[in-house]
Amino acid sequence: MTEKSETGEIRRLEQASDSELKQAWQTCARLTRRHAGNFYYAFIFMPVERRRAIQALYAFCRAGDDAVDEETRDPAASLARLRERLDLCYDDCYIDDLTLALAHAIRNFELERRHFEELLLGVEMDLNVKRYQSFDELRLYCYRVASTVGLLCLRIFGCDTEDSRKYAETLGIGMQLTNILRDIREDLERGRIYIPLEDLRRFDIDEQALFLPGSNHHLQELVKCMAARAEAFLDEADGCLKNEMKRCLYPAMIMAAIYREILHKICTFNDLGLRVELTRTNKIKIAQQILDGILR
């Protein structure tokens, strides 16, 4: 028996054919390959079932980003529809490739809904919050949009313990701070400044003049300060990583190493208005180094 929603026909998960599942996984894989430039090279080494689940999770996160960043749509309505799609997934239902792949991952790996709810609260902050007064406020945002994803990944990685949860939380914050430093100009063009205003004041930077020539030196110093903060979270995450966790958490370790390299490049880059990227060769080399270290 099927029902209708505003976005399509609602079907039960057990109604999905093998060909539908295959198509859903391929859709999420293509989206990941196209958009998850840094994560992709951590995912490709995973066993197929876990990789499919991670790609479904990434596709959902991407849909959240698109909901608040797509200017041609009503972002609040898009976010409401995304919540409805999550409801369907937890009811073992689907309406499209994304919900089919995610519902399958939720069932197979028993993904906790509370982390998705926190994630959506973080996405919602992008609709309502354009400035952060303090780092404490920004840290909550980073936890919601990044740490929650890491906590969901732990079930898929097969390592959900007290130590691994601390690892996921701190790693997520460090990675999101790196994203913020990488995307300062891009976010500013969307009307958002994630750098805490207390830090802008500390470095005598007017938010209206972030990229004006006279502010360049101050901004570079601020970026180095924030980069040190981000690296401290990455270091803290490393400290939570026990040897017995590494064979399960190597995808996260690859992501952490890639982000650490991006962070170092940001600190040495002269033009903060340009987005720092690593080459495909760099990412594969980093991934191979992590894997070699674990297997040695």
Whole-angstrom distance, CA of residue 107 vs CA of residue 180: 33
Whole-angstrom distance, CA of residue 173 vs CA of residue 186: 20
- The pLDDT value recorded for residue 138 is 98
Bridge partners (DSSP) listed for residue 4: 9
pTM summary value: 0.92
Name the residue type at position 118: E
Q: Which structural domains are found in the chain, ordered by start?
A: 11-111 (1.10.600.10), 114-284 (1.10.600.10)
Whole-angstrom distance, CA of residue 293 vs CA of residue 78: 43
Strands of the 93-94 sheet, one edge to the other: 3-5, 8-12, 93-94
Tokens for 272, please give them: 């903060």
- The pLDDT value recorded for residue 273 is 66
- The pLDDT value recorded for residue 41 is 85
**Mean pLDDT in runs of 10 for the chain (296 residues)?**
59 96 96 87 92 96 86 82 96 97 98 97 94 97 98 97 97 97 91 95 88 75 94 97 94 96 87 80 93 84
- The pLDDT value recorded for residue 131 is 96
- Helices (DSSP H) in 129-215: which residue ranges? 135-142, 148-157, 162-182, 184-189, 197-202
Tokens for 29, please give them: 């894989």
